Structure 1
Amino acid sequence: MPHRAAIKIIQNRHFLTTTPDKSIRAVAAHMRDNDEGVVLVVAPEDGKLLGICTERDLTFKVLAAGLDAVSTPVGAVMTANPQTIHPEKPFGHALHIMHEGGFRHLPVVLPDGRPIGVLSSRDALGLEALHFFRELDQKAVLTEIL
């Protein structure tokens, strides 16, 4: 399993935030303009994580439900109190949380509740996947030897 810390995956990576009062339309435009599929919703007073809103949320909870994107705030459709991970936890742990929870994005949050980034299931397609498959190969070789 990939053992690299979550912080190593997200360091120097841009992520989007918004406040819960912003309209769905403004948030969707912000996501489009930054080519991002997820935005973290934070409290305006202290920046602590309140929720997460993804392209999937916009599709299913807004479009499919027929909500007005101009008058509906993102706080009404976000996933409140999402699962999070500490920056020092291994990426493999994050993948397990995402798999078990059935979601594709996991906020990385400091102990004080402020987010510092977002992990994506897509991150597993990079270098971590190569390491994972190398470990599997090594275990297979050891199994054959023993």
Structure 2
Amino acid sequence: MPNRPVSAVITDQDCVTVPASTRVRKVAELMKTHRTSAVLVVDAHRERLLGICTERDLVFGVLAEALDPDATTVDRVMTADPLCIAPDKPFGHALHLMYENGFRHVPVVDKGKPLGILCARDALGSDALQFETELIRREEITVIL
């Protein structure tokens, strides 16, 4: 699992992107609608990544600072110029990057263009699939014996 490319992990992902001028209330609504914990902040043409906005950015940057979510734009609270990973890198490399830097999300970018977001939950998903496969294999062995 850790050797498969990042692109394989994000294949079916619904990546949410927003322009930097988006109000944070709208960002929170999009996160809720799309059941995601982060969005990518992009330029007006959605061609270049400017930053990432996570639930933590909203809590610490808006709520804890008592900012108005209807007046505050996402570029004020996002993490600008985040560390990114290329789609051809191994998934294990992305997990190591997240662990070493203490964050739970890493944007996937190809030549500056945002493709998706890897999150710590993705690791749990692949482990769960591997665990399910192992359980099925054990059941089959039990039936044979």
C-alpha separation in 2, matches of 1:80 and 1:127: 29
- TM-fit CA distance, 1:34: 1.4
- Partner secondary structure for residue 35 of structure 2: coil
C-alpha separation in 2, matches of 1:8 and 1:52: 21
Report the counterpart of residue 59 of structure 1 in structure 2: 59
Report the counterpart of residue 16 of structure 2 in structure 1: 16
Task: Specify the code of the residue in structure 1 equivalent to 2:92.
Answer: G
- TM-fit CA distance, 1:59: 0.6
Q: Which runs of 4+ in 1 moved over 3 A?
A: 128-131
Report the counterpart of residue 123 of structure 1 in structure 2: 122
Report the counterpart of residue 109 of structure 2 in structure 1: 109
In percent, how many aligned pairs have the same letter? 50
- Unpaired stretches in structure 1, ≥5 consecutive residues: 135-146
C-alpha separation in 2, matches of 1:11 and 1:128: 17
Task: Specify the code of the residue in structure 2 equivalent to 1:110.
Answer: D
C-alpha separation in 1, matches of 2:28 and 2:126: 30
Report the counterpart of residue 84 of structure 1 in structure 2: 84
User: TM-score normalized by structure 1?
Assistant: 0.84
Task: Specify the code of the residue in structure 1 equivalent to 2:76.
Answer: A
- TM-fit CA distance, 1:47: 2.0
C-alpha separation in 2, matches of 1:122 and 1:34: 15
Report the counterpart of residue 27 of structure 1 in structure 2: 27
C-alpha separation in 2, matches of 1:95 and 1:2: 8
C-alpha separation in 2, matches of 1:40 and 1:89: 19
User: TM-score normalized by structure 2?
Assistant: 0.85
Task: Specify the code of the residue in structure 1 equivalent to 2:120.
Answer: S
Report the counterpart of residue 5 of structure 1 in structure 2: 5
Contact 1:62–1:68 under 8 Å retained in 2: yes
Contact 1:2–1:128 under 8 Å retained in 2: no
C-alpha separation in 1, matches of 2:123 and 2:27: 27
Report how many residues are paired.
Answer: 131
- TM-fit CA distance, 1:125: 1.1
- TM-fit CA distance, 1:128: 4.7
**Cα RMSD after superposing both structures:** 1.7
C-alpha separation in 2, matches of 1:12 and 1:24: 26
Task: Specify the code of the residue in structure 2 equivalent to 1:52.
Answer: I
